[in-house]
Structure 1
Amino acid sequence: MDFIMSASIISRKFILFTLMLLVSTSSLAGNFKVQSAEISKIGNGYILDATISYPLTPRVKEAISNGVPITFLQQLELVHSIAIFGKYWQWDKTLWTTSLRYELRYHALTEQYVLKALDTEHYRNFPSLDSALTALGTIKEVSLPPEHLANTDGLIFQIRSGLDLYALPTPMRPGALLSNKWQVTSPWKIATWP
């Protein structure tokens, strides 16, 4: 009898583990990804070039096609990492952080996708969603803060991208915050120094 009970408990744990694994891998299926992030030295300063892919979930695509403005964030961080016990324990101090914010919406009347840089109010129109996402994912020659770059030893520059769910219309916000169909933030990608 003990054998049957322990086998039953083991099989329940195995089923639970399998379900958790399926849920975790399905939620990662539509995540954004920073494909490349490279820093170049230009004169006395440094610039960032990066490429991000935006595989949107069907729920996000549906919202865009219905005219809901979606806000994308590109987070940039400069971190000074101090090794305390070699590579096993490090002290990280954030020196600089910023977010580039873009709003993407579809205008049904003109059948155009409008990409707006929220910091500069600069608009660009695109005939397709794919072309708008390609333009959004191309970061070219973003200047890095020179006051922190006199010595690049121990500096880590990282970038990630995601959606600003708090910028969604109020009725959509609770569902988006709880649904894994809206959780598409990329992991941090460390840029390569020259």
Structure 2
Amino acid sequence: MLLSRTVALCRTPLRRSAYVGFIVFLGLLLTSPPAWTAGFNIIRATTRLEQAVYVLDADIAYDLSPAVADALNNSVPLTIQLDMQVQRNRPMLWDETVAELQQRFRITYHALAQQYVVANLNSDQQYSFPTRAAAFEFVGRIRDFPLLDRSLLQPGQRYIVSLRAELDIEALPAPLRPQAYLSTAWRLTSDWYTWPL
């Protein structure tokens, strides 16, 4: 019945072209990506052995959503968490987790000083930057991070390293958390990036 009405409406050339235009518009609307996409992306990550310790180097790109960038510019502190895992690859069983580490950074904007302050929450060191881009470039450039002592590894075994970056919603101020949980604009995380140790 609906199909017969649609066919009847499309009999005149003007109505037919309007109908076709509407269908094309809907198709484009449903298939086109959003004008803005935010998220975290691990560009590269490697490990190397230095004096019996495996160290991590990584480059991470942080693209904030407008809501998150606006909150930061209004002095809401953001906590970026890096999750790292080292797993022993076992073909017949689940992989065994050998080590799990977290590196956390808190980024705060100080309006009076017009500075972005990055606090390394693992070492309590603080760094100041004149721009948000410079602050996130610093957080995204991980160098010589001590990951794992070689003595924890079994000879002849294969190990996989995984790295993920995410915005820690639990570290946001309490009044902002419900909105952050419900909005996709606040769910900023990278995919797991894996490579052999």
TM-score relative to the length of structure 2:
0.80
Amino acid paired to 1:107:
H
Conserved 8 A contact 1:70-1:103:
yes
Q: CA RMSD in A?
A: 2.7
Q: In the TM superposition, what is the alpha-carbon distance from 1:94 to its structure 2 partner?
A: 1.5
- Deviation larger for 144-153 or 177-186: 144-153
- Asked if 1:114 is matched to 2:117, the reply is yes
- Asked if 1:38 is matched to 2:49, the reply is no
Between the aligned residues of both structures, percent identity stands at 31
- Asked if 1:76 is matched to 2:92, the reply is no
Aligned residues: 177
Amino acid paired to 2:142:
I
2:145 partner SS: strand
- Asked if 1:185 is matched to 2:189, the reply is yes
- Asked if 1:148 is matched to 2:156, the reply is no
The aligned counterpart of 1:87 is none
The aligned counterpart of 1:92 is 95
**In the aligned structure 1, how far is the partner of 2:140 from the partner of 2:194?**
16
Q: In the TM superposition, what is the alpha-carbon distance from 1:30 to its structure 2 partner?
A: 1.1
- Asked if 1:52 is matched to 2:60, the reply is yes
**In the aligned structure 1, how far is the partner of 2:64 from the partner of 2:74?**
15
- Deviation larger for 41-50 or 127-136: 41-50
Amino acid paired to 2:141:
T
Conserved 8 A contact 1:27-1:181:
no
Query: Structure 2: which 5+ residue stretches go unaligned?
Result: 5-25
Q: Deviations over 1:76-128 (max 9, x none)?
A: 111112112xxxxx622222111111100100000000000112211000000
Conserved 8 A contact 2:159-2:196:
no
Instruction: Name the structure, 1 or 2, with higher relative contact order (CA <8 Å, separation 6+).
Output: 1
1:68 partner SS: coil
Query: Structure 1: which 5+ residue stretches go unaligned?
Result: 5-14, 85-89
In the TM superposition, what are the counterparts of 1:4-43 in structure 2 within 5 Å?
19=30, 26=34, 29-43=37-51
Conserved 8 A contact 1:102-1:116:
yes
Which of the numbers 64, 75, 84 marks the counterpart of 2:72? 64
TM-score relative to the length of structure 1:
0.81
The aligned counterpart of 2:178 is 174
Q: Deviations over 1:47-94 (max 9, x none)?
A: 11011000111111000000000111011111112112xxxxx62222
**In the aligned structure 1, how far is the partner of 2:156 from the partner of 2:75?**
44
Q: In the TM superposition, what is the alpha-carbon distance from 1:150 to its structure 2 partner?
A: 4.3
